[in-house]
Structure 1
Amino acid sequence: MGIKLVIVDDAPFIREVIKNIFRDTDVEVVGEATTGVEAIEVVVKTRPQVVLMDIVMPTMNGIAAATELLHRFPNLKIIACTTLDQELMIMKALEAGCCSFVLKPFKADELIKAVQTTQA
Structure 2
Amino acid sequence: MANRIVVVDDAAFMRMMLKDILVKNGFDVVAEAENGLKAIEAYKEHMPDLMLMDITMPELDGIAAVKKIKEIDANAKIVMCSAMGQQAMVLESIQAGARDFIVKPFQAERIIEAVNKVLGK
Common topology (TM > 0.5): yes
Distance 1:36 1:84 in 2: 17
1:55-103 CA deviation, whole Å, 9 max, x = no partner? 1111100000000001111111010111244321111101101011000
Q: Give 5+ residue unaligned stretches, structure 1.
A: none
Q: After the TM superposition, which parts of structure 1 deviate over 3 Å for at least 4 consecutive aligned residues? A: none
Q: Is the Cα–Cα contact under 8 Å of residues 55 and 82 in structure 1 kept in the other structure?
A: yes
Counterpart of 2:7 in 1: which secondary structure?
Answer: strand
Quote the residue 2:59 is aligned against.
59
Higher strand share: 1
TM-score by length of 2: 0.94
Counterpart of 1:26 in 2: which secondary structure?
Answer: coil
For 2:24, the aligned partner's letter is D
Quote the residue 2:76 is aligned against.
76
Q: Is the Cα–Cα contact under 8 Å of residues 3 and 116 in structure 1 kept in the other structure?
A: no
1:10-50 CA deviation, whole Å, 9 max, x = no partner? 00000000111112223110101000000001111111010
Quote the residue 2:44 is aligned against.
44
Quote the residue 2:4 is aligned against.
4
Q: Give 5+ residue unaligned stretches, structure 2.
A: none
Quote the residue 1:94 is aligned against.
94
Quote the residue 1:28 is aligned against.
28
Tell me the number of residue pairs that the alignment of Structure 1 and Structure 2 aligns: 120
TM-score by length of 1: 0.95
> Matched residues, percent identical?
38
